[in-house]
Amino acid sequence: MISTLQKFLFGGLMSVAIVIACGQEVKAKRNPMLTQEEIEYVPPPFMEMAQQALVEGDLEAAVRVLKAAQSCWAARQEKCGFTQTDYQSLSGVVYLEHGLAKKAVRSLNRVVTEQPNRTMAWFYLGQAHLQLFQYRQAAEALTEAASVGANIPEYYGMLVRAWKGANEDEKARLAIATGLGCFPNDAALLYEGTLLYLSKGLFFAALDLARQYAAATTQPADAAYLLVAESYRKKGWMREAIATLEEARLVCGQSSQATVRLAYAYAENNQPTSAARLFEQLAGNDFHFAQVASEQYRLAGHIPEAQRLAIRIPDPTKRQTQLAIIALQVNGFETVVQLLEPIFIEGKLGDQGTFRLAYAALRCGRLDLVERLLRRLKNTQNDESVTQLKKALSRCTTQPWECW
């Protein structure tokens, strides 16, 4: 559907067509060589009807009107009240709205070639090039539309993306600076600016815009913060990433996506206790996080908390596996066997779980079970560990007092 921005701009697109149509009607009445039928023929206002359909968002109606206009042109040409340039202008917009950017470019290029003063045609041409990732052509076309675009914040966002895509960093920076100078609280521009500055490694400038975006947007307020934090993380600057996410959580609320990212950042930065506490909060709304919280508590050495969260894991196999991992950490070998052997019998235990079960069974003296498990592990990629387990089994068979 045609956007509010396009509705605003579209009013000027056909002004030339209306003048031409009126002039041709007068000309027809004064031409003595025309037949009575031709003199009496009054064409419907094809272009105005198509324009109105576009403004109302009725693309199918616009297409029907343009097809009728095309048929009229084949029979009467200019007597239909419009020119081929008028027709191409509207066709280009219709193509663009239907997602046919290549056809839109062809139509609109004809318009601006014949009448380069049609500013709105340049504006739509720039959008079409942008959809085709033809960034330099898009930027040049949008620049030609500056007289109407300068008062519209969306225009600057498109211009920034176009110059950025064309690797014209300074022109992109000037476009965002000009746009924010006119519209300092426009959320879309603040977001574009954040992206632009991050792409150039200007983290502090990007973070400043992220703060402004959080204050200006009605969308998820932490979106720009998350971009900055992820850029820090990719650089390996975990302290800066965590600080940014902590600020985002404070500004945007504990229920925001920043809380999830912060929990994972703590885990990645070897802060399991902090990660576990956040994951436990998240588990209140999503039990998926119960397993992650349990694992972080285990890594931090908080075994009772790890067990408490593991019990909340909804999937029985995952719950028993996590409880077994916790038990293994505190040498609860018999508990490990009790938890994992049923899963092994069901055929749901992976290689890593099978190895854990084999080790626990060895420590419990369940040598028969160890042998069965080793046969299962004969094709595993964990060759060194399996070899060591086989050697231990051999020693335990001959010297059991050394094993348990």
Residue 86 has pLDDT above 90, yes or no: no
The pLDDT tens digits for 270-302 are: 999 999 999 999 998 888 899 999 999 999 999
- Asked if residue 12 has pLDDT above 50, the reply is no
Pick from 8, 90, 22: which is nearest to 51 by CA? 90
pLDDT at position 19 is: 37
What's the rounded Cα separation, in Å, for the pair 277 and 361?
33
- C-alpha 64 chain-centroid distance: 35
| Opening angle at CA 137, ends 177 and 158, nearest 5 | 35
Dihedral (C-alpha) 124, 130, 132, 138: value to the nearest 10 degrees? 80
Does pLDDT of 322 surpass 80? yes
Tens of pLDDT, residue by residue over 178-196, are 999 999 999 999 999 999 9
pLDDT for res 17: 41
pLDDT on residue 178:
94
Q: Is the pLDDT of residue 9 over 60?
A: no
CA distances from 309 to 291, 293, 322, 369 (A): 7, 7, 10, 30
Q: What average pLDDT does the segment 328-339 reach?
A: 94
Spatial contact of 367 and 375, defined as CB atoms under 8 Å apart? no
Orientation of helix 257-268 relative to helix 238-252, angle to 10°: 160
pLDDT band at 83 (very low <50, low <70, confident <90, very high): low
Q: How confident is the model at residue 309 (pLDDT cuts 50, 70, 90)?
A: very high
Mean pLDDT of the residues in the chain: 82
- 55-73 pLDDT, tens digit each: 656 556 666 666 666 656 5
Confidence of residue 94 (pLDDT cuts 50, 70, 90): confident
Both tokens of 300, joined, read: 């931090």
pLDDT of 11 strictly over 70 = no
For residue range 216-246, list pLDDT tens digits in order: 988 888 999 999 999 999 999 999 999 999 9
